[in-house]
Amino acid sequence: MRHLLSTADLSHTQALSILDTAEEMAAVSTREVKKLPTLRGRTVVNLFFEDSTRTRISFEAAAKRLSADVMNFSAKGSSVSKGESLKDTVQTLEAIGADAIVMRHWASGAAAQLAGSGWTDCAVINAGDGTHEHPTQALLDALTLRRGWSAAHGEDPRGTDLTGMRVLIVGDILHSRVARSNIWLLRTLGAQVGLVAPATLLPVGVEKWPVSVYYSLDEALGSGPEAGPDAIMMLRVQAERMGGAYFPTAAEYTRRWGLTDERLARLAAHRGAAGQRPMILHPGPMNRGVEISAAAADSPMNQVLDQVSHGVSVRMAVLHLLLSSSERNTA
C-alpha cells in the first residue's frame, strides 16, 4: 500500500492490518508518554483546501505521536487563494521535503489525481475529497464497531472482522463521503449494511450497491434484514440541502429520518444476539435536534467520543504503515 485514497481499494487483509495496527497505537495513547519514535525525521504535511479543524487536529496528533515533523498548510490565506494550482502547491511541498501529504479537498477525486499525477513521490492520504470518500473516517468507525462487536462476543478485537454485524447508515448518502467509504469498508469486513434516506439523498443507481435501501427509518428499525440493528450511524444533515429541495424542512426531516427520543427508546430496547445494546455513531459535528436528539447524542450508546480517540489511533496506523514500510524515493 503506497497511498490511502479509497476504502474500495482495501483488501480484507489490508483493512485488518490497519485496524490491528490501530489497536497497538491505541495502547500507546493510553500511556503516560504518548509517543513512538517510528517516524522520527519524516515530514507529514496536512494540506487542507477545506476547513476541518477536527480532522486536521486528529492527523496532527497522530503524526506527532509517531515523532514525525508536521506542517499544516491551509488553503485559506495561502498562495492557493491567489490562484496557485494544486500541481504547483504540491511540488512546492515536495521540494520542502514532505514524505506524506494528508489532503482534504473540496473536489471529488483530488487525492486520486494527486497520487496518479507524477507530481510528487509523497505518500498521499485522502482526508476527505469532495463528496467522494473519507477513508480514515470509515476506518475509525470500523475500529469503533469492531471494539463493540468483539466485546459483545467476548473476543479480543485483533484479527477479527464484522461478519454478521448489521449496520444502518442514515441521512444524506448522496453527498456523503463518510457514507461511501463506510459502505465499501463495512462490506469488505463482512457487515450487512442498510441505507436510510429520502429518495432525493440517495444516488442514482444505489439499487446496484451491495446494501439494503430504506426510505423510512421506522421500517428500517422494525422490519427488513437490518431490523433491530447492531449499530446505527447518523450522518450530519447540511442545512443548505434544503435550498436544493432535497427535503422540505428540517422539521420534516427530523420527523422522518431523525434519531428522535421515540426512536432512541425503540433502539435501546433492542438486544443483539450476544445481548448487547446497539451502538450509535456520528462522524460529528452533530446537529442536535435535527438528525439526532439531545438524548440520543448524550446516550451511553453513543460512541462519538470513542470515535474521536479511535481517529487518532487509526491515523497513526495509516501513517505508520504507509511511511515505515517503504523508504522515501529521493530523487
Partner 1 sequence: MSDTPTAATLILGARPYGEAPLDLLIKDGRIAALGEAARAQAEQLKAEQVTTVEAEGLIMLPGMVDLHTHLREPGREDAETVETGSRAAARGGFTAVHAMANSSPVADSAGVVEQVHRLGRASGWTEVYPVGAVTVGLAGERLAELGAMAESSAQVRMFSDDGMCVHNPVLMRRALEYVKTVDGFIAQHAQEPLLTEGAQMNEGDVSAVLGLPGWPAVAEESIIARDVLLAQHVGSRLHICHVSTAGSVEIIRWAKERGIDVTAEVTPHHLLLTDELVRGYDPVYKVNPPLRTGADVEALRAGLADGTIDVIGTDHAPHPTQAKECEWSAAAMGMTGLETALPVVIKTMINTGLMDWRRFAEVTSITPARIYRHAHQGRPLQPGEPANLILVDAEATQTVDPEGHASKGRNSPFRGMELPGAVRATFLHGHPVVLDGELNTPLSEASAGAAGSSQVRP
Residues at the site binding partner 1, with contacts judged by CB under 8 A: 8, 85-87, 105-110, 112-113, 116, 129-133, 175, 177, 180, 203-206, 208-209
* Locus of grid cell 446494501: 211
Query: In the 8-state DSSP scheme, what is residue 120?
Result: -
Q: Is 82 annotated as a binding residue?
A: yes
**Beta strands of 191-282 (E only): which ranges?**
192-196, 212-214, 231-234, 279-281
Q: Residue 284 annotated as binding?
A: yes
Taking the least distance from each CB to partner 1, the nearer of 8 and 36 is: 8
For the CB of residue 293, give the shortest distance to partner 1 in the complex, in Å.
29
Q: How far is the CB of 233 from partner 1 (least distance, A)?
A: 18
- Which residues does residue 167 pair with via DSSP β-bridges, in sequence order? 193, 231
134 is in an annotated binding site: yes
The residues with which 125 forms a beta bridge, in sequence order, are 4, 102
CB–CB of 271/229 below 8 Å? no
| Nearest distance in Å: CB 262, partner 1 | 32
Q: Extract the runs of DSSP E, i.e. beta strands, from 100-254.
A: 100-105, 123-129, 166-170, 192-196, 212-214, 231-234
Query: In what side-by-side order are the strands of the sheet with 192-196?
Result: 212-214, 192-196, 166-170, 231-234, 279-281
Q: At what angle do helices 304-325 and 12-29 cross, to 10 degrees?
A: 110
Smallest distance, partner 1 to C-beta of residue 69, A: 27
User: How far apart are the C-alpha atoms of 142 and 56, rounded to whole Å?
Assistant: 20
For the CB of residue 86, give the shortest distance to partner 1 in the complex, in Å: 6
Residue pair 146/207 in contact (Cβ under 8 Å)? The answer is no
Annotated binding residue at 285? yes
> With respect to partner 1, which residue has the nearer C-beta, 88 or 155?
88
CB closer to partner 1, 204 vs 331: 204
Dihedral angle, C-alpha 267, 273, 276, 280, nearest 10 °:
-40
Q: In the bound complex, what is the minimum distance in angstroms from residue 130's beta carbon to partner 1?
A: 6
**55 marked as part of a ligand binding site:** yes
Q: Which is nearer to partner 1, 112 or 281 (CB)?
A: 112
What is the nearest approach in angstroms of partner 1 to the Cβ of residue 265?
A: 34
Q: Which is nearer to partner 1, 79 or 324 (CB)?
A: 79
Q: Measured from the CB of residue 272, what is the shortest distance to partner 1 in angstroms?
A: 31
- Give the contacts of 88 (CB within 8 A, at least 6 positions apart): none
Question: 31 or 82: whose CB is closer to partner 1?
Answer: 82
**137 annotated binding-site participant:** yes
* DSSP E strand boundaries for 188-244: 192-196, 212-214, 231-234
The set of cell numbers assigned to 314 is: 487509526
Q: Which is nearer to partner 1, 129 or 141 (CB)?
A: 129
Closest CA to 51 of 86, 15, 78, 84: 78
- CB nearer to partner 1: pick between 185 and 316: 185
Binding residues for carbamoyl phosphate: 54-55, 104, 134, 137, 284-285
Binding residues for L-aspartate: 82, 177, 236
Binding residues: 54-55, 82, 104, 134, 137, 177, 236, 284-285
